[in-house]
A and B are shown apart, each in its own frame.
Chain A
Amino acid sequence: MIGYFTALQSAEVLAELAETNPNLVLLSQDLGAVGSFTARFPDRHFDLGITEQNLVGVAAGLAHAGLLPVVLAMAPFLSMRGFEQIRTDCAYNRNNVKFLAPFAGLEAGAWGATHHAIEDIALLRVIPGMMVLSPADPNETARAVRAALAIDGPVYIRIGGLMPIDGYDAPFRIGEVVTLRDGRDLTIIATGPSVAAALAAHDALRADGIGARVLNVHTIKPLERGVITTAARETGRLLTVEEHSIIGGLGGAVAEMLSEIGVGRLLTVA
């Protein structure tokens, strides 16, 4: 549920932006009141019930008519059931819809595999024109939402079970890879909730005298090339970590990039 609370927290950003942008509307699927947005803008929050395909199709129509819809829906269902509407009605038709997707990765835990989203990066990443964000902590999620709302075009924001990362307040610029820790022996490339695990690994390795660089990939698509290329050249060894299938996920994306760059050795963990 942590990720859902993170989404609710970032909805406060939506409420703030909605004050000055009358086109901003919120769509959700049987998720009740969404932060203070619902109370402040009752006419601009549409609960479309237990539905993904209609939810996304309606969002595409709203965007087509000039509004700025934000869809709040659970990552496994939104990405799999809503996939074709995201691809065809939003991306192909160039409609400016933002997706906030909590319960990404394994956050649903013991609820079971039906509620896990370990394919959503792969699914969303392959869609032409789609941006995929995967913030590392609650505050970065709020910054990601703000950045996504500021650009034209569909954006999927994946929200896992995120815990605050102490002292992390780097400005969020879509398309950047953030270097959180420096190191010369290997590079840990992480995204979402795995970034906190990568930082813990950095500390543990340092105790053993191993310098691990830690990169936060908050933008999975478009994937920044420079920082990863430099890390491959300088540390040789790279390790990707994510709550997602390696196939098509961060591991796959980095592997695709490294095969083009032609340097570095990659190990993937999921």
Chain B
Amino acid sequence: MRDTPDLDALARRAARLRRHVLTVAATGPAHVGGAMSAAELMAALFFRWLRLDGVAQPDHFILSKGHTVHILHACLVERGMIDAAELRTCGMPGSRLAGHPTRRAPGVEFATGSLGHGLSVGMGIALAEQLRRRDTRTVVLMGDGELQEGTVWEAALAAPRFGLEHLLAIVDYNRFQACGSVDAIIPLDPLADKWRAFRWNVHEIDGHDLGAILGALETVPAARGPSVIIAHTVKGKGVPSIEGTTAAHYAVLGDADIAQAIAGLGADT
């Protein structure tokens, strides 16, 4: 179904996305952890699955976990919509790039940042597309800590009532939130059971395994109802000094941390 060179190309793309995030991290503190954990997911979405260019009705993408905006900006660089040099201006006065997605940046579909909003918005978009009988896809990427917001579950409860086979939620389950592990603060497990109980089509995968990601994406649209991918990931993946720690969430990286991470990404980035 997929050949190895195909997956290799996406893996190199994910590495380049991580390299762009490190460019931002080199300028100061940044939400590195949740950006790095989503690199393979974003590579698969933006450079394989979402139909964004050359189509009359582009697919939709909402970054509900808006603080991980740097991985979205990285995709905009790889899509040729912003210059890589612009990444260094992120958060500076006058920059189009802020610490959360804003519509000043080309290619950002919806401004987010307050957690728990994206799934409702995505549901509305999917409902509109369904009403117009289009097969346009709508993807909402959420964080795991974000699932502590009640609004996520309002939308999760409501969406299957309306069908919405082309709505896909993805949970970047990297196990850490701002100030500790999700399990220690308000645990989510059994997470897949919760979504199943809400009548979603559930896929639980390794969120760094591109083959598994593409395999899950290929099941959308399911025969009935919206789908969710629970992607088990490593917070800060690709930055050895912070991987899998609370410190990865909003990280201050030194030159050595960044050099080590860049070295690990390979020569092709």
Contacts and interface: CB of A to CB of B under 8 A. Distances in A.
Interface residues of B, number: 26
B148 to A, nearest CB: 14
B110 A64 contact: yes
Given A61-B128, A65-B129, A66-B128, A54 B158 contact: yes
Tell me what chain A mostly uses at the interface: helix, strand, loop, or mixed.
Answer: helix
Given A57-B117, A88-B114, A88-B117, A62 B158 contact: no
A267 to B, nearest CB: 39
Contacts of A60: 120-121, 124
Contacts of A66: 128
Of B113, B126, B154, chain A has the most CB atoms within 10 Å of the CB of B154
Contacts of A85: 117, 120, 151
B125 interface: yes
A37 to B, nearest CB: 15
A20 B183 CA distance: 53
A72 to B, nearest CB: 16
Tell me what chain B mostly uses at the interface: helix, strand, loop, or mixed.
Answer: helix
A59 interface: yes
A47 to B, nearest CB: 10
Interface in A34-67: 43-44, 46, 48-49, 51, 53-54, 56-67
Interface residues of A, number: 29
B121 A58 contact: yes
B131 interface: yes
B123 A57 contact: yes
A224 interface: no
Contacts of B113: 88
Interface of B: 60, 103, 109-111, 113-114, 117, 119-129, 131, 150-151, 154-155, 158, 162
Interface of A: 25, 43-44, 46, 48-49, 51, 53-54, 56-67, 69, 84-85, 88-89, 92-94
Given A57-B121, A59-B124, A65-B124, 9 more contacts: A53-B154, A54-B151, A54-B155, A57-B151, A58-B127, A61-B120, A61-B123, A67-B128, A94-B103
